[in-house]
Amino acid sequence: MNTDQLAFNCPPSHASPKDLGEFFVPSMRGPTKSAFKSIMVNPILTMINMAGGMPNPNTFPILQLQARVKTPGATSSQPEDTLTIEKKRRNKTTECLDELLQYSGGCGLESYCSFLYNHTQRTHSPQYADWGVIASCGNTDAIDKALSLFCQPGDSVLVERWSFPGTLSKLAIARLKPVPVALDEEGMVPADLDRVCSEWGGATPLRVLYVIPTGQNPTGTTMSLARRKSIYAVAQKHNLVIIEDDPYYFLQLPKFTSNQGYDTVTDRTCGQQQALVSSLLSLDTDGRVIRLDSFSKILAPNLRCGWVTAPQYILDKIQILSETTTLQPSGLSQGLVSKLLNDTWGMDGWDAHICELRAIYTARRNHFVRMAEKHLSGLVEYTVPLAGMFMWMRVNFGAASADPTAMTRLLYKMNECGIMMAPGMSFNSTATLPSDHYLRAAFALVDIDMFEPALLRLAHAISTISGQSASVNDEAATNDASCSSSKYEIRAYVANNTDKVQLIAPVGFNVAVANGRG
Amino acid sequence: MTSTKPHSKDLSVYFTESAKQRDNSPLKSLMKYMSADPALVSLGAGLPHPSTFPLGALTTLVAQPGHMLSECAHPPATSIQVNQPTSKTEGLERFLQYGNGRGVPSYSAFARTHTASVHNPPYADWDVVPSVGNTDAFVKALMLFCDRGDTLVVDEWTYPAILGTVGPMGIRVASVRMDAEGAVPEDLDRVCGENRVRVAYMIPTAQNPTGATMSLERKRAVYAVAQKHDLVLIEDDPYYYLQFGAYEEPAEGVDRLRGLPGIKGLIPSLLSLDTDGRVIRLDSFSKILAPGLRCGWVTAPRYIADKIQFHNETTVQQPSGLSQALVSKLLNEDWGHSGWESHLLRTQREYAVRRDVFVDLCREKLKGLAEFTVPQAGMFLWFRIVLPPQLEQRQGVMDEVFARMIEKHVLLVPGRMFSAKGVDGPYMRAAFSYASVEDLGVAVDRLREALLTFQQEK
């Protein structure tokens, strides 16, 4: 995108980024240019454009788009504002429907990118010149394009020991080998990253590090500032490109203390607003971080839009990749998001919305951990998450620990007992390492009142498989030895709370499953 | 009524290694256990709660089918709302939530019903899968069967994004000679005999850039060659519905728009001939609703559609839920299939008028300067620039022609952009889709001026 058009200018004191273009795959090196762009000479108002295979906007039958939107921080949860996008241009800030619905280049809607550029500057203050943002269709697609830029079949990619299955799938299919790095309660261990890189003897050099620094999927860990600095230093030492996959960045949560009461979220004004831990981007003096941001967890997942921040010369390549594939995200998604952020909420409203989300996730995290403390003591180990929606639990099978079938039997038992979580094996970055005894719980979707029954059932299932007795707090479990009657309890709860139950199995998933498409 | 249609041939033996590996995402597979049993509490999926989605109802004002802005500033319109689920479409929350690579069910349901009605694929196990447009769909179809070092069969002039994709992927192209109807079957046969190829890419309607449209006989011949060589055919057909038929010279009292095909009169697709299940058909809403929606669908044998679903899941996931919501609501409920047909007919009319106006002008003003075959569909006219013999062979003369056109303020696309063989030729592609009818006249005048300067050169 043309940064000259933006209100904000990069301070002149920032140095240019390092040129990592030598790491591009051969086909992306050199001056690759969009064929079409190369013939679009300086636009002249009187030029009659017979070039683009573009439909005339008179053929677009959509005449107006409106959406009811919530006012962030409002006491009522009902939508309060209406945003309207007209067919023809009415204001200077945001595009009209005719523009949203038309073909445009591969970098994204101007007002969308402009807001995100300013937001990124404000949030991360990148430390080098010539950075930019480009629209993405979500982080999964952004990961795909970033990896395509730097990796060829046979290459290896540094990943967290446990990682996001979407990326792990992509690596496997693209014949890229994941090189796992150890994790602790703060995420990736710098000393292990250094060791792995220093000892590397593979056929091709290690060039790319893929990391989820905040609310890591699946372990839920969040790197402290000190940890991020250490990781960055190791990346500098070994000249790595860092793909910072950060969809939970804005869902950072305050520390948990056991004596916090379970309460509905009353304070949504972020009176105790905690500063966000700095991103890797904000530490990036070299221009080696490709940061992936997504609206999936902070607006809605199926808008299918986000943004990538990186040195402009890298974004230019990603734009080329987009022009031969996705082109850009849906104009409706970009347009609606842009209108919302630029006109309806503004930067202040966006901040208030994030505050509200953090409060919601904090309440959920707190109650979930409290229930885990109450019912799972001795049965699981976990690190309390400081961001996002995941809690990663290591199951203590006691006497059954050495039994290789323990985990599988637990999963079946859990299903019988009416509780499901994601098994650790889904997140194992490499099959040569044991998948161990992990479960990932997501606490974002299920109704808060179901946390206790859910973890009660988990406790019961683990106790049964491990032959351990449950903790003394687990009265219901010791009173009720049979899973079928525990399901009865849940059914009774369900019958009395039908309005909450629909949140357990989202409408539509059943349809997909019934059609065998899940 | 039982189906007596054959099962598709199994072409999975030709899948690349990557394609073979594509499978259900392990997390999405967990959805299987989220059965109809409401007693199962699932903390498995990393889905945000819909109460955190700040969007409430979505309302769009949509022109009634058959009306366009080119007739009047305010066409009759209806307001449609996406909010609560209905019998035919999901609620807004569902459109905004994570799903899988098969998209939101009602969107695909429309695509399935429409495809069955228009093409009636002659094999049993076909299915649809959403795409974010034909360019991305093409890449996904290609990657099922072609790897670095493989060769893709394309028309000698073709859509530049294709060439821009295969190059970096290390996939070569083998080009097929074209005539006024598109790829020449005998040359397709020759190319397949001389090269190790598995996939052929075609744009059978209003081909980009030549504007050629294959007749049914041509399609039958192409399909026969594909069968002979066991090819997969990628049928990229974004202009399929923009068929308007042969050109007639203007005549007093004759309505040149009387014979528009609607849906019933469209030339049958390659899919409709596909008894083997070797066609991967790409449909897009770009030219028939709007390009910015970024959505379409792929029709293929189910085992191939499944692979594309899995590929979606490691890339785009699915089209924007807003786009799917709008399209689904419009086509399943508001316009329905009959309204959709009215809209397509009106779209045909729009492009037919443009074609007629533009061709009338070109025939009148570009005699001796440029030749062309009149397109029967779509939006492209492929000019063969007539240059004096002494200029024809001059190195870089087409760059000069392009520059002269720019000087005169008219922009066309030089033919070499479309060449699969990387050659230049005396061709320019004009799109008559965008400029106003008035501007079409100005454009042709400017073209004439530009080209005359070359005729006058000594």
Distance (Å) from the alpha carbon of A451 to chain B's nearest alpha carbon: 9
Element (H, E) at B161: helix B160-166
| pLDDT tier at B27, thresholds 50, 70, 90 | confident
List all residues of chain B from 49 to 78 with a beta carbon under 8 Å from chain A. 49-63, 65, 67-70, 75, 77
The reply to whether omega before B209 is within 30° of 0 (cis) is yes
Residue A202 CB neighbour total at 10 angstroms? 11
- The residue ranking higher by pLDDT, B250 or A477, is B250
Distance (Å) from the alpha carbon of B439 to chain A's nearest alpha carbon: 7
Task: Note the pLDDT of residue A508.
Answer: 28
pLDDT tens per residue, range B29-81: 666 555 446 677 888 888 999 999 999 999 999 999 888 777 777 889 999 99
Distance (Å) from the alpha carbon of B20 to chain A's nearest alpha carbon: 9
Total beta-carbon pairs less than 8 A apart between chain A and chain B: 404
A466, A400 contact by CB (below 8 A): yes
ipTM of this model? Answer: 0.93
- Mean pLDDT, all residues of chain B: 93
pLDDT tens per residue, range A91-143: 888 999 999 999 887 889 999 999 999 999 999 999 999 999 999 999 999 99
- In this predicted structure, the answer to whether residue A426 has a pLDDT above a threshold of 70 is yes
- In this predicted structure, the answer to whether residue A491 has a pLDDT above a threshold of 90 is no
CA A478 – CA A471 distance, rounded (Å): 9
By Cβ distance, the residue of B46, B54, B413 closest to A442 is: B46
Closest chain A residue by Cα to residue B410: A48
Residues with Cβ < 8 Å from A141, sequence gap 6 or more? A326, B315, B316, B317
Task: Note the pLDDT of residue A517.
Answer: 31
Element (H, E) at B174: strand B172-176
pLDDT tens per residue, range B373-406: 999 999 999 999 999 998 988 989 999 999 999 9
- In this predicted structure, the answer to whether residue B255 has a pLDDT above a threshold of 50 is yes
CA A474 – CA B372 distance, rounded (Å): 83
CA B32 – CA B24 distance, rounded (Å): 11
pTM of the model: 0.91
User: Chain centroid to CA B96: how far?
Assistant: 26
Maximum Cα–Cα distance across chain A = 83
Which DSSP symbol is given to A17?
Answer: P
- In this predicted structure, the answer to whether residue A481 has a pLDDT above a threshold of 80 is no
Contact A420 B318 (CB under 8 A): no
| pLDDT tier at A514, thresholds 50, 70, 90 | very low
Tokens of A65: 């788009």
Task: Note the pLDDT of residue A268.
Answer: 47
- In this predicted structure, the answer to whether residue A271 has a pLDDT above a threshold of 60 is no
By Cβ distance, the residue of A389, A450, A506 closest to B41 is: A450
A400-411 mean pLDDT: 86
Question: To 10 degrees, the CA torsion angle through A131, A133, A136, A140?
Answer: 40
Element (H, E) at B81: strand B77-82
Going by their DSSP bridges, the two strands B296-301 and B55-63 should be labelled as unpaired
Distance (Å) from the alpha carbon of B54 to chain A's nearest alpha carbon: 5
pLDDT tens per residue, range A163-172: 999 999 999 9
Which DSSP symbol is given to B124?
Answer: S
A22-48 mean pLDDT: 72
CA B390 – CA B392 distance, rounded (Å): 6
Contact B292 A331 (CB under 8 A): yes
